[in-house]
């Protein structure tokens, strides 16, 4: 009896350890933050227990955690739940992913390597711990996320991964909508920052939900979603994005809609969705004009202008290699993160880093634009949406960066899986043909006829 029980005993030990650690976190960090960390630990424990049957279980179950921006706070670290989930998924993807990698994915990884090499110079010139840690962190957010997505897509888990990821986003969207109803009922017509199920800043929520709306808008056939489910998800997420009043999220979603329409051509549905671009642009422009007309130098518009001026003045003190990644954590004279992507990069890594950053992003778009639209449209729309968002707010924020790259990786992995399946089908056809024609004087011809025909066009 003991012999039959012992092979599965590790699962009970694992579950008990996870339960004990989760209880400790809830007692030590309070209910809200403790429960969030405990849920992520629970998902990872379940993933480990499922690994004998599903090797990529950890990577799959970690996908909902990619949108959680709360801090873990273990051992005094500054990691977010998204960082922990991505690291766990990355380890699983590297160990159990399918190789070799496709050519487009290798190109994306090479482009990111160019940026990483350029920023390595600022790590050397500005030696402080946060600089070194952020160098690895930035690599994980892009290359690590791409490899996680690749493993899921190539492993045939695109449907499940998108379901878990967008499903988690829909929970946040419902939280935004419910909070909006309660807030508007009190006569307060402001941007909505959800408090449930995850407390998030309105810009963080808007940016993440916009990426989910892009996934639902494209709804690639290989993802296995019904049109009705995708349509419901798209409108729910889009409404939530508008309710957050996150300007960069709205603009990023508008750009994604334009890209998808351009890639697919004008259809009745795309024309209908495209009509939403005009009121969305009007909404954003009117909000900016209102802020300018108030003359309140403490609103988001004037504060961003002031920050940009300060960052520009700071950059001139170290224009070539910058002040180091995450310099605002260590220098008393710079206590804020630059509110725009290129400004952040040039202040952190100098002109060298900025040039590499521009090359990297231009290369990303070119590579993905050349991918088969059935797989590349979603990838390029998701990445374009993110870089547009970053023109108006922070860039190196864990969830907002990693999620679109995971989506792009899933697309490339699904493309490789489809190509592999087609290749296996052709090999099976060749084998069947060779069996049928064994003993006959015939050779397969691949020109002037279809598979299974002889040189003269006869079977």
Residue 71 pairs in a beta bridge with 80
Let me know: does 413 contact 153? Beta carbons within 8 Å.
yes
Quickly state the pLDDT bin for 418 (edges 50, 70, 90): very high
Mean pLDDT of 316-337: 85
Higher pLDDT, 139 or 48: 139
Please state, in angstroms and rounded to a whole number, the distance separating the CA atoms of residues 116 and 349. 10
Please state, in angstroms and rounded to a whole number, the distance separating the CA atoms of residues 384 and 134. 23
Quickly state the pLDDT bin for 409 (edges 50, 70, 90): very high
- Note every long-range contact of 268-274, with CB atoms under 8 Å and residues 24 or more positions apart, other chains counting: 273/217
Least confident of 47-51, 99-103, 120-124, 365-369: 47-51
Please state, in angstroms and rounded to a whole number, the distance separating the CA atoms of residues 42 and 75. 19
Higher pLDDT, 204 or 335: 204
Let me know: does 176 contact 192? Beta carbons within 8 Å.
yes
Please state, in angstroms and rounded to a whole number, the distance separating the CA atoms of residues 273 and 452. 45
Please state, in angstroms and rounded to a whole number, the distance separating the CA atoms of residues 381 and 371. 12
Least confident of 248-262, 336-350, 414-428: 414-428
Instruction: Kindly report the three-state secondary structure assignment for every residue of 118-154.
Output: HHHHHHHHCCCHHHHHHHHHHHHHHHHHHHHHHHHHH
Say what the pLDDT of residue 39 is.
66
Strands (E), 184-323: none
Query: What angle (nearest 5°) sits at the alpha carbon of residue 450, between those of residues 449 and 454?
Result: 65
Higher pLDDT, 418 or 36: 418
Please state, in angstroms and rounded to a whole number, the distance separating the CA atoms of residues 179 and 332. 37
- Cα–Cα distances (Å) from 288 to 336, 342, 407, in that order, read 22, 21, 31
Higher pLDDT, 202 or 278: 202
The secondary structure of residue 441, as a DSSP letter, is -
The secondary structure of the chain in percent helix, strand, coil, rounded to multiples of 5, reads 75, 0, 25
Mean pLDDT of 183-210: 89
Say what the pLDDT of residue 162 is.
96
Mean pLDDT of 37-53: 66
Say what the pLDDT of residue 392 is.
85
Let me know: does 450 contact 431? Beta carbons within 8 Å.
no
Burial (CB count <10 Å: 0-12, 13-18, 19+), residue 187? exposed
Half-sphere exposure of 265 (CA within 13 A, CB side): 2
Strands (E), 178-224: none
Please state, in angstroms and rounded to a whole number, the distance separating the CA atoms of residues 379 and 373. 9
Mean pLDDT of 28-41: 59
Quickly state the pLDDT bin for 405 (edges 50, 70, 90): very high
Quickly state the pLDDT bin for 457 (edges 50, 70, 90): very low
Burial (CB count <10 Å: 0-12, 13-18, 19+), residue 448? exposed
pTM to 2 decimal places: 0.84
Residue 258 has pLDDT above 70, yes or no: yes
Say what the pLDDT of residue 423 is.
77
Q: What percent of the chain has pLDDT over 70?
A: 73
Residue 299 has pLDDT above 90, yes or no: no
Let me know: does 171 contact 197? Beta carbons within 8 Å.
yes
First to last CA, the chain: 61
């Amino acid at each position: 009896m003991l012999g039959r029980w012992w092979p599965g005993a590790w699962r009970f030990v694992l579950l008990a350890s996870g339960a004990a650690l989760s209880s400790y976190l809830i007692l030590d960090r309070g209910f809200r933050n403790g429960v969030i960390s405990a849920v992520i630990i629970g998902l990872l424990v379940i993933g480990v227990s499922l690994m004998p049957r599903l090797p990529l279980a950890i990577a799959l179950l970690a996908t909902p955690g990619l949108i959680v921006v709360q801090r873990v706070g273990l051992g005094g670290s500054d990691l977010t739940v998204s960082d922990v989930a991505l690291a766990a998924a990355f380890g699983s993807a590297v160990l159990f992913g399918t190789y070799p990698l496709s050519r487009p994915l290798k190109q994306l990884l090479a482009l990111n390597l160019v940026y990483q090499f350029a920023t390595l110079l600022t790590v050397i010139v500005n030696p402080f711990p946060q600089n070194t840690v952020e160098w690895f962190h930035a690599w994980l957010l892009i290359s690590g996320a791409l490899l996680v997505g690749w493993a899921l897509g190539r492993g045939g888990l695109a449907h499940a991964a998108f379901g878990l990821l967008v499903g988690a986003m829909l929970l946040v969207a419902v939280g935004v909508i419910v909070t909006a109803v309660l807030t508007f009922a009190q006569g307060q017509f402001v941007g909505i920052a959800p408090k449930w199920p995850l407390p998030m800043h309105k810009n963080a929520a808007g940016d993440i939900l916009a990426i989910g709306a892009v996934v639902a808008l494209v709804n690639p056939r290989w993802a296995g979603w019904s049109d009705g489910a995708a349509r419901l998800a798209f409108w729910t997420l889009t409404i939530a994005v508008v309710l957050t009043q996150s300007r960069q999220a709205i603009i990023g979603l508008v750009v994604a809609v334009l890209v998808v329409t351009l890639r697919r051509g004008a259809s009745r549905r795309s024309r209908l969705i495209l009509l939403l671009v005009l009121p969305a642009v009007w909404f954003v422009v009117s909000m900016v004009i209102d802020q300018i007309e108030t003359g309140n130098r403490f609103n988001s518009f004037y504060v961003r202008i002031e920050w940009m001026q300060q960052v520009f003045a700071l950059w001139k003190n170290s224009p070539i290699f910058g002040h180091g990644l995450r310099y605002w954590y260590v220098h008393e004279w710079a206590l804020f993160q630059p509110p725009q992507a290129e400004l952040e990069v040039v202040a952190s890594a100098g002109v060298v880093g900025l040039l590499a950053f521009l090359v990297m992003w231009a290369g990303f778009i070119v590579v993905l634009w050349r991918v088969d639209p059935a797989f590349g449209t979603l990838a390029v729309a998701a990445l374009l949406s993110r870089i547009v968002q970053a023109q108006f707010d922070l860039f190196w924020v864990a969830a907002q960066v990693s999620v679109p790259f995971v989506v792009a990786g899933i697309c490339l992995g699904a493309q490789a899986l489809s190509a592999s399946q087609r290749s296996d089908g052709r090999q099976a056809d060749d084998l069947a043909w060779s069996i049928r024609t064994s003993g006959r004087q015939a050779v397969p011809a691949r020109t002037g006829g279809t598979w299974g025909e002889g040189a003269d066009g006869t079977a």
